Amino acid sequence: MASAKEISNRIKSIKDTMKITRAMYMISSIKLRKARKKLEDTEPYFYGLQNAIAGILYRFPDVESLFFDNRPKDKVERRKRRGIVVITGDKGMCGAYNHNAIKRAEELIKESPKCRLFVVGAVGRNYFATRGYPLPSDFTYTATNPSIHRARNIAETIIELYKKERLDEVYVIYTRMVNSLVSEVEVEGVLPLKERKFAKAEILKRKKEAHKAHGHHVDEDLPDVQDGDDKDSALLYGEEMIIHPSADELIEKIVYNYVTGFIYGALVESSASEENARMTAMNSATDNAKDILKELSLQFNKVRQAAITQEITEVIGGAKALKTNK
Amino acid sequence: MNTFKLRILACDKVFFDGDAEQLIVPTKDGEWGIMANHSQMVSAIEIGLIKYKPKDGEWVKAIVSDGLLDVRNNVVELIVYSCEKPEEIDRFRAEAAKERALEQMLAKQSIREYHVSAASLARAMARLKYSGKDI
């Protein structure tokens, strides 16, 4: 058994560690509250933007654009140059948060080895850099305190590469907080704009309304958007839509808004998940430290008890020896 | 007066959600006014000053960053990165942002960085122009 001195040293060091984990827990809980607030504030914008864009794209005249998934080259080219934006944290100490995002990214990389990585957050960047993935040197964004400015910078980088056709499709990997216990890694394609995906829900809703208004039977399954769907859109929107200033300029604006808005949303979601994960990890670390302390103090008492007993025995033994000598 | 439903969404808050009589927005080729029952329209909004008149209320002015305007079925949605009232603007911060943007534009930079700094500069100028002034 270890000596009392050793055990008390151990107790002291665990107490020190516990102080740190407890402090980190409190910091994370404050940061989480902030991140949650940000998440709530940005949600109407986030969903409003997606809805509006869905509506606009549905009513949009049939145009071929670089930003849509109906590019002529999509039909010929099979191999895509993929860009992947991975959002990780700046620090560890948050359970499996970073690891999950990185693992998901690696799965995606395996599918298309020639993709380009854009990593947000120091942990992910270090991970991929040490494993020899080429990372763009001017893409060094932190994950803490997401701002619309940072999202705009990231979006600008990606859209610029996309416009030059260095990238054919762009995915974002981020962590979504389902509730305070569960968070999930999500992979979302942001470019090119998927007309169908965007418009689907919107179309269904509107079609139902229109059908009801005309006393038709309502089809339950999703109607698919075809090129010859003009009749239906004419039914829904009897009039021409004013597009201002021009279709091309507007699409570009939509793309910038959508990508920036999406990345901002992803950054906010991820930072909330990160703080949540860190809070849970630090909480269990503190609990664990408490358990160890309990055990160690028991051990320490036992050792102390044994030492005292031994001393007493020695004293008594000594006294006895003196008595018999007399 | 006839009204329409107006929603102004900024990335950090819902700036306005309610009935309005008129809305004036800056676009690339000047200001556009929107009243009730406007035909459907989609437009890109420039950085600058918007004005709207809530139902039975006074004109309200706000400074917006660039974004989208979507008009359909008498519902108008304005989606912008930021939207602030003139009195909310921190002149000192806007001044600092302007300086920073100017400095960045002077430095050698890529086209992308140039776009970002130009947008920052435009925002800072718009804020300074309308902040605290009686407009």
Residue-wise pLDDT tens digits, A142-159: 888 888 888 888 898 888
B69 and B115 share a domain?
no
Q: What does the pLDDT read at residue B51?
A: 92
Q: Kindly provide the residue ranges of all beta strands, DSSP E only, lying in chain B, ordered along the sequence.
A: 4-10, 13-27, 30-35, 41-45, 48-54, 60-64, 67-72, 75-80, 83-84
| Residue B5 pLDDT > 70 | yes
Contact A71, A105 (CB under 8 A): no
Residue B135 lies inside a defined structural domain of this protein: no
B60 and B114 share a domain?
no
Is the reported ipTM for this assembly greater than 0.90? no
Greater pLDDT, A194 or A264: A264
How far, in Å, CA of A207 to CA of A201, rounded?
Answer: 10
What are the structural domains, with CATH classification, of chain A?
Answer: 4-20+282-325 (1.10.287.80), 31-279 (3.40.1380.10)
- What's the token pair of residue A207? 């079609």
List the domain range (segments joined by +) for residue B16: 4-84
User: With bands split at pLDDT 50, 70 and 90, how would you rate the model's confidence at A318?
Assistant: very high
Q: What does the pLDDT read at residue A298?
A: 94
B13 and B54 share a domain?
yes
**Of A45, A177, A40, A33, nearest to B15 (Cα)?**
A45
- The closest CB to that of A148, out of B9, B11, B13, belongs to B11
| Residue A238 pLDDT > 80 | no
Q: What does the pLDDT read at residue A295?
A: 94
B66 and B30 share a domain?
yes
Report chain A's mean pLDDT, rounded to a whole number: 81
Contact A215, A208 (CB under 8 A): no
Contact at CB, A55 and B70, closer than 8 angstroms? yes
Of these ranges, A130-144, A191-205, B25-39, the one predicted with the greatest mean pLDDT is B25-39
User: With bands split at pLDDT 50, 70 and 90, how would you rate the model's confidence at B54?
Assistant: very high
Greater pLDDT, B108 or A241: A241
- The closest CB to that of A55, out of B27, B39, B72, belongs to B72
From the CA of A199, how many Å to the nearest CA of chain B?
A: 15
B61 and B40 share a domain?
yes
CB atoms closer than 10 angstroms to residue A128? 20
Contact at CB, B116 and A41, closer than 8 angstroms? no
Sign of CA dihedral A70, A75, A76, A79: positive
pLDDT for B24-52, tens place per residue? 999 888 898 999 888 888 888 989 899 99
Contacts of A205 in chain B (CB under 8 A): none
Name the domain count of chain B. Answer: 2
pLDDT for A14-29, tens place per residue? 999 999 999 999 999 9
How far, in Å, CA of A285 to CA of A277, rounded?
Answer: 12
Contact at CB, B41 and A254, closer than 8 angstroms? no
Give the A-side interface with B, CB within 8 Å. 38, 41-42, 44-45, 48-49, 52-53, 55-56, 59, 148-149, 152-153, 156-157, 160, 237, 239-245, 249-250, 253-254, 257, 260-261, 264
Q: What does the pLDDT read at residue B50?
A: 92
- The closest CB to that of A48, out of B9, B39, B119, belongs to B9
Report chain B's mean pLDDT, rounded to a whole number: 84
What CATH number did the domain enclosing B123 receive?
Answer: 1.20.5.440
User: With bands split at pLDDT 50, 70 and 90, how would you rate the model's confidence at A220?
Assistant: very low
Q: What does the pLDDT read at residue B115?
A: 76
